[in-house]
Amino acid sequence: MYRYDEHDKKILAERVAQFRDQTRRFLAGELSEDEFRPLRLQNGLYIQRHAPMYRIAVPYGVLNSTQLRKLAEITRRYDRGYGHFTTRHNLQLNWPKLEDVPDILAELAAVEMHSIQTSGNDVRNITTDHLAGVAGDEIVDPRPYAEIVRQWASFNPEFAYLPRKFKIAFNAAAEDRTALAFHDIGLEFVRDAAGELGFRVHVGGGMGRTPMLAEVIREFLPWREVLTYCESILRVYNRYGRRDNIWKARIKILVKTLGIEEFRRRVEEDWAELRDPASVITDAELARVAAYFAPPAYEPPSDEDQAFAYAFASDRAFARWVGRNVHAHRRPGYAAVTLSLKRTGVPPGDITGDELDLVAQLADRYGFGEVRVSHEQNLVLPDVRERDLHELWLRLRAARLATPTVGLIGNVISCPGGDLCSLANAKTLPIAEAILTRFEDLDYQHDIGELDLNMSGCMNSCGHHHVGHIGILGVDKNGSEWYQVTIGGRQGRAAALGHVIGPSFAADQMPDVVQKLLETYLAQREEGERFVDTVDRVGLAPFKERVYGAPKELARAA
C-alpha cells in the first residue's frame, strides 16, 4: 500500500496542528459554532445526537494491520470500544469527545491515517473496488490512480467550499463493484482503439432525495489528464451549482438542469482554457506511486496440498462459506476472503476494538498484513492462500466473522440510523436486527439466493437503499417513524433505481413485509432467476398484491 514520505507526513502534521488550534479557539469562544462547523466537518467531525460522530478516512478502502491495531486502540481509548464501517470505506466512531479529536488525529497521523474531508462540502474520500489489485477481471490496478487523485483533492484550495459534498470513484473491473453510476464523478478505466489507457468519465450520479444515474461526459480521457479534467468539472460545478437549496445542490441537479450537452460544453471550454500542463500526471509519478502497490511475494501454487479440496468436499458449512465469502483471485492458489460484519445482535458494519485486533492478527498471519473495506460494510483479506482457507475459516467462525451471507439477504447494508445519527428520520438498526433474526436460517437464505437488502434512515441514502433489490427508507410522518419499501434496484453495470411499492409501514410490520416479498418471489420465480430478475419480469403488481392485499393490513399502512 501507499506509504507516506516526508512531504506527506509534513502535510498531515500541519493539518493536525491546524485543527488543534481551530478546536482550541472554538472551545475558547473565539470561533462561533457557525464558524467552526465547516472546519470540523472538513475533519470528519459531526455534532450528533449523543456525542460527536467522527469519521476516519480509509482511502480507497485499503488498510494495513498496523493501522487496524491503531484503530482498535482508538476505539478503546477514545470511544466505547467499537466502530462502524460505512458504505464509503470509512470508519465512524460514535462516542468521541470533541476536545479529544485533535489527539485522535495525531494518533492517526502516526500510522499515516487521517480524516481529511470525510465530511463537508468538499471532495470526499476516493472509493474503488474492494478487490482492486487482486481481481481477475480488472484491466489495471486502480489504486495508484486513486492515490494520485486523493493527493490532488486533499486541501485543494479552490474546492473546499463547494455547493455540496463531492464523491469520486474508480472502477477498473468488468464487474462494477463500486456503484460507479452513483458518484458525482465516476472514472471507468477503458482502453482506446490504440490500446492507450484512459477513462470513460461519468458525471452527475448520486443517491439522496433525487437519485440519478451518472451520464457520460467524455468517452475517452487519457489517464494523464485525470487531474486537469476533474478540475474543470469541479470548477463548473463550483461556479454554477445551486447554493440556495441544500436538496438541489449536488452536481447531479446541475447536470440535469443544464443538460449533459451544455454541461459538457462548459467543462470542455474551461478545460481548453485552463488545463495546466503542470498538472498532467507524469510517468515518473505514476511509477513512484504504483511501486507501493506491487503484488506481495506470492508463493507458487502447489499441487501437492489437497487440504482445501478435501475440506471443501467434506465440510458443508465450510463449502457454503467458500461459495459466498471467498472470491476468485488473479493468482492461482490464492483467494480473497470477505470477513462478514453482518451478524445477529450487532449492527451491520459494526466491529469492536478487539475484533479489529484479531483481524490485524489474521491479516498478518494469512494475508501479507493487508485488509480492505468493502462498500457493503464488510472487511476483505485480499491475498489468502487457498490452503489456509479452512484454518482461517475456523478462526473467523469462532470470532463470528464468518457469516456466509455475502450477496444474500443476511448481508444487510445499513446506515446507523436514528439510534445514533441526528439526520435520520427513523431507526434502522432494530429493523436490520429483526430481518437478520427472521431470516437467520441459512438454508432459507441460500434458497432465496442473491438478494441485496439496503436500508437508510433518511434521504441522505448512506445505506444506498435506492440500489437494494429490496430497499428500505426511514421516513418521518407527523413525528413518527415509518418505512418506505422499494424493489428492483441494483448496483453494478446494469445499475437501476428501485421502485416504491406503495404506502409505508410501521417498524413492527417490516419483517412480515420482507417475508411477503420473498414469498412472492419464491412463488413466481423461474429457473435461475434472482429476486431482482423476477421483479423485472413480472413487475410490481404481484408483490404489491401480496403485501397490501389484505384490507386489514392495508388499513394499517399509512
Q: Which residues bind other proteins (CB under 8 A)?
A: 5, 7, 10-11, 14-15, 18, 22, 31, 35, 38-39, 121, 148, 151-152, 154-163, 227, 235, 238-239, 243, 273-274, 276, 278-279, 281-282, 284-285, 288
* Cβ neighbours, 10 Å, residue 404: 24
Match 477513462 to its residue by C-alpha cell.
199
Burial status of residue 293 (CB atoms within 10 A of its CB: 0-12, 13-18, 19 or more): middle
Residue nearer to other proteins on the CB measure, 173 or 249? 249
Beta-bridge partners for 64: 370
How are the residues of the chain apportioned to helix, strand and coil, as percentages rounded to the nearest 5? 45, 20, 40
Instruction: Kindly state the smallest distance separating residue 539's Cβ from other proteins, in Å.
Output: 45
Residue nearer to other proteins on the CB measure, 15 or 530? 15
Residue nearer to other proteins on the CB measure, 8 or 354? 8
Residue 73 corresponds to which cell in the numbers above? 486502540
Residue nearer to other proteins on the CB measure, 173 or 227? 227
Instruction: Kindly state the smallest distance separating residue 255's Cβ from other proteins, in Å.
Output: 17
Instruction: Kindly state the smallest distance separating residue 113's Cβ from other proteins, in Å.
Output: 16
Instruction: Kindly state the smallest distance separating residue 224's Cβ from other proteins, in Å.
Output: 12
Instruction: Kindly state the smallest distance separating residue 210's Cβ from other proteins, in Å.
Output: 22
Residue nearer to other proteins on the CB measure, 148 or 326? 148
Instruction: Kindly state the smallest distance separating residue 184's Cβ from other proteins, in Å.
Output: 15
Residues whose CB is less than 8 angstroms from the CB of residue 136 and which lie 6 or more positions away in sequence, other chains included: 328, 329, 330
Instruction: Kindly state the smallest distance separating residue 242's Cβ from other proteins, in Å.
Output: 11
- Tell me the C-alpha distance between 265 and 28, whole Å: 48
Instruction: Kindly state the smallest distance separating residue 25's Cβ from other proteins, in Å.
Output: 8
The answer to whether residues 72 and 38 touch, using CB atoms and an 8 Å cutoff, is no
Nearest Cα residue to 375 out of 430, 413, 408: 413
Residue nearer to other proteins on the CB measure, 287 or 313? 287
SS3 199: strand
How many angstroms from the chain centroid is the CA of residue 527? 32
Residue nearer to other proteins on the CB measure, 60 or 334? 60
SS3 165: coil
Residue nearer to other proteins on the CB measure, 239 or 556? 239
Residue 253 backbone dihedrals phi, psi, to 5 degrees: -70, -40
Instruction: Kindly state the smallest distance separating residue 105's Cβ from other proteins, in Å.
Output: 14
Residue nearer to other proteins on the CB measure, 86 or 238? 238
Nearest Cα residue to 459 out of 496, 415, 429: 415
Q: Which long-range contacts (CB under 8 A, 24 or more apart) does 361-368 make?
A: 361/65, 362/392, 362/395, 362/396, 363/64, 363/65, 363/68, 364/65, 366/391, 366/392, 367/337, 368/296, 368/297
